[in-house]
Structure 1
Amino acid sequence: MDGMLSQDEINALLAGMDTSGGDAGGDAPADAPAADDASAAPVGGGSIDESLLTDSEKDAIGEVANISMGSSATTLYSLVNQKVNITTPQVELANWEHVIDNYERPCVFIQIKYTVGLDGTNILILKEHDVMVITDLMMGGDGTNTEGEIGELQLSAISEAMNQMMGAAATSLSTMINQKVDISPPQATLLDMINDDPSDIAEFLTGTFVRISFKMQVGDLVDSTLMQLYPIDFAKTLKDTVITGDSGGGDSAPAPEPAPAPAPTPPPAAGPMPDAAGMPQMDPNMMAGGMPQMGMGMGMPQMGMPMQMMPQMMNMNIQPAQFQNFAGGTTIMAGGENIGIIKDVPLEVTVELGRTAKPIADILDFAPGTIIELDKVAGEPVDVLVNGKFVAKGEVVVIEESFGVRVTEIVQ
């Protein structure tokens, strides 16, 4: 059996191949975990470098946000006709994971971009329940109609509210930096955040950003947290622009020169001329009138000065300031509700032909052709409801091939 391998030799060769194969295969698993770890890193996660923002910068950014949100609270009050309280903000660094972990889901993201005066973006985050309460109050409700999910109607209404609020904040910023600041119309989106890619919302959400938390109270209906998110660079630019007057790069604006000192008031022309000794003469009229001789102390009229020449402030006529009314402004209703700024918010109008109550057994027997008797008499006016609230009565008409309602009575 020349040239043939024995069984022992075959086993030895197989053992050598297994050993080499095991080494080659063992290298791959050692490298695999590194690749897995790199691909498993979540977007917007990881640790936060707190050195990106100093404590003094956080305080300054918080002060700017506090002033801006104060104007926004006043505007929100005019929209909902409820007391609005927004407390001092808390400024910190955060990432996408922190927002998900610390905020209720789903929630409404409202993105606002500055178009004039500043170049940047910020995002407001409101809880779903808070949005339902605010929009219900805006549309004439009592704030308790919060059932169901947020729809286009609520998103449109809260966008308009945020447009007014952030517009007021932009006006405050304009005053602080002494130049016009304007924003684009806000965009509101309902998100659950878990399955959403932050880069689809705003690119800065994929890294570390500034999170400003406010405690917001609206009457007895809302006691919640409002969050505002800024890119770090934009937050620093905003702080520099408002606090130090630096509008982004370059040296700070030079300090204004002190105002020139006011010109001294000339002496009264009617005063007596001093005699050779340098002393003013006494006014004989004063002596004749029985006036006592007065000394030369500070604040007292000099001898020889007629009483009608006393300082003018003694005869100042102080009146309350009068302001001219703005022409063409929004109409303020007697109740204090500013209806002009929400005229573009769409409302759902429903016409109700009638109602009835049926037991479950009768409802289970419903079939095509079943006749349901309503509580309205034939020819009786139908009810018109706006956003679920009864506002008017009317009669059914036909307009070409469509039904319509002619309003016959407005319900107060």
Structure 2
Amino acid sequence: MANDMLSQEEIDALLKGTTEDNLTDLNEEISEVERDALGEIGNISMGSAATALSTLLKQRVSITIPQVSVENINILADEYTIPFVAIDVKYKTGLEGSNVLILKTDDVKIITDLMLGKETFDLNRELTEMDLSAVSEAMNQMMGTACTSLSEMFSRKIDIEPPKSTEITFEKAKDELDVLKNADSIVKISFKMTVGDIINSNIMQLIPVGFAKELVSKLMGQDSQVESEEEVVSANSTDDSSLSYEYEKEDDLDKMFDSKVKKEERKEEKKEKHLHENKNIETDKSVIVKKPKFEAFDVEPKKENLHNESIDLVGDIPVEITAELGRTAKKIKEILEYGVGTIVELDKLVGEPLDVYANGKFIAKGEVVVIDDNFGIRITDISNSYKEDN
């Protein structure tokens, strides 16, 4: 019986072989050209997103060139057991599909603190709704900027719905996130992200295989309507219903990009030709040129005739009078700590005159008085600019 049992080395070899076979099968779901195209899309869009995040956090943000692979969802669930933050991004214009961004919970806490202007970060605290709302807004800014780059790349308007953030594990995400439901494999695009010298981490973008193939197809112009036979871009495909394309040479991706560029160049040439033809249309009418004659304005009008209208025309217009007790400036993090009984110190001293405004324009200074249980203000000084205007 002992001779029939497998040794540990044989078991490891069998498991290793099975894993390698599975990875090979998964990687065959998208071709090398499609993988390169997805990497280029991610590189351009995330480059723009990094600029938007840098402006929002007031820190230098860098996102490296992406790594594209096809992963088994069950294997990902086994590898990533701790909770993470998933940001679900759905497209509403230009593209039909969605993708999920994966961030570490500690990175989300730091991003929230940076957005609130904090200089120290508490990573031991619990993740709150404020953290999820803050990272949703950050991703909304990032992906909104990325959509601008994608719009230029795909020559169509692309927009997203407001992202939704959730703290979740991969095991639960398989049943709750639309991107991972009823799917065995997923396209994983990995980026390395650094924020100043505060964050040095990795983020992931998960895209359904079908949607990834659709992105490549739209990028190559395979689904666009053409106006003439000269604008048709041919593709070597063995099945019309499939979105995968097999290419025979390594430089076929460059050729497809070049064909798209040439297509746009031909459109520009047609526009220029049309404009040039319109410029060449000339009329035979003769043109008469004359010197202009202007009326003399040497005589100044009499001053008594300048303002002869009655002030009664504007006498009934209401003007809002405001007396300002004082002002102060606080940071958002200080305002968030306010509660009942909090005292806010203003910039006015005791006994100092108050400012009086008419429709927001400073006109005078005054002192506080009490008239029949109501506050009032006695004018003590009129603004010089107000005097000059009147």
Normalised to the residue count of structure 2, the TM-score between the two structures is 0.54
How far apart, in 1, do the equivalents of 2:195 and 2:87 lie?
19
Shift of residue 49, structure 1, vs aligned partner: 2.9
3-state SS of 1:49 partner = helix
Given that residues 86 and 168 in structure 2 are in contact (C-alpha distance below 8 angstroms), is that contact kept between their aligned partners in structure 1? yes
Q: CA deviation at 1:236?
A: 1.3
Partner of 2:56: 79
The one-letter amino acid paired with 2:43 is N
1:95 deviates by 2.2
Letter of the 2:174 counterpart: P
1:201 aligned to which of 163, 177, 184: 177
Give the match's secondary structure for 1:129. helix
Q: Which string of whole-angstrom CA distances, capped at 9 and with x for unpartnered residues, describes residues 287-334 of structure 1? A: xxxxxxxxxxxxxxxxxxxxxxxxxxxxxxxxxxxxxxxxxxxxxxxx
The one-letter amino acid paired with 2:40 is E
Structure 2 residue 135 is the aligned partner of structure 1 residue 158: yes
Greater share of helix residues, 1 or 2? Answer: 2
**CA 1:393–1:112 in structure 2 vs 1: closer, same or farther (change >3 Å)?**
closer
1:66/1:88 contact within 8 Å kept:
yes
Percent of aligned pairs with the same amino acid: 40
- How far residue 77 of structure 1 moved from its aligned partner, in angstroms, is 0.3
The alpha-carbon deviation at position 409 of structure 1 amounts to 4.3
Structure 1 pair 249/131, CA: closer, same or farther in 2 (3 Å)? farther
Q: Distance in 2 between matches of 1:392 and 1:197?
A: 33
Q: Are 1:90 and 2:98 counterparts?
A: no
- Tell whether the 8 Å contact from 2:187 to 2:206 is kept in structure 1 after alignment: yes
Q: In structure 1, what is the Cα distance between the partners aligned to 2:35 and 2:76?
A: 18
Match of 1:255 in 2: 263
Pick one of 203, 208, 212 that aligns with 1:226.
Answer: 203
Instruction: Please give the alpha-carbon distance, in whole angstroms, between the structure 2 residues aligned to 1:60 and 1:78.
Output: 28
- Kindly state the Cα deviation for residue 204 of structure 1 after the two structures are TM-superposed: 3.6
Return closer, same or farther for 1:203/1:89 CA change in 2, 3 Å cut-off: closer
The 8 Å contact of residues 210 and 235 in structure 1, kept in 2 or not, is answered as yes
The answer to whether residue 169 in structure 2 is matched with residue 192 in structure 1 is yes
Q: Give per-residue Cα distances to partners, 1:215-260, cap 9 Å, x unaligned.
A: 1111111111100000111111112222x12347996489353737
Whether the 8 Å contact between 1:393 and 1:409 is mirrored in structure 2 is no
CA RMSD of aligned residues (A): 3.2
AA in 2 matched with 1:408: E
Deviation at 1:80, TM superposition (A): 0.8
- CA–CA distance in structure 2, aligned partners of residues 224 and 233 of structure 1: 28
When normalised by structure 1's length, the TM-score is 0.51
Per the alignment, do residues 209 and 186 of structure 1 end up closer, same or farther by CA in structure 2, a change over 3 Å counting? same
Match of 1:245 in 2: 221
Q: Which residue of 2 aligns with 1:236?
A: 213
Cα–Cα, structure 1 residues 197 and 392, in superposed 2: closer, same or farther, change >3 Å? Answer: closer
- Residue 108 of structure 1 corresponds to which residue in structure 2? 85
* 1:112-153 C-alpha deviation (Å, 9 max, x unpaired): 000000000100000011111111101101252322111101
Which runs of 5 or more structure 2 residues have no equivalent in the other structure? 1-21, 227-231, 234-259, 277-328, 348-390
Unpaired segments ≥5 residues, structure 1: 1-45, 264-383, 397-402
Partner-residue secondary structure (3-state), 1:154: helix
Aligned-partner SS, 1:408: coil
CA distance in 2, matches of 1:68, 1:392: 35
Instruction: Give the whole-Å Cα distance in 2 for the aligned partners of 1:74 and 1:156.
Output: 20
Alignment partner of 1:53: what SS?
Answer: coil
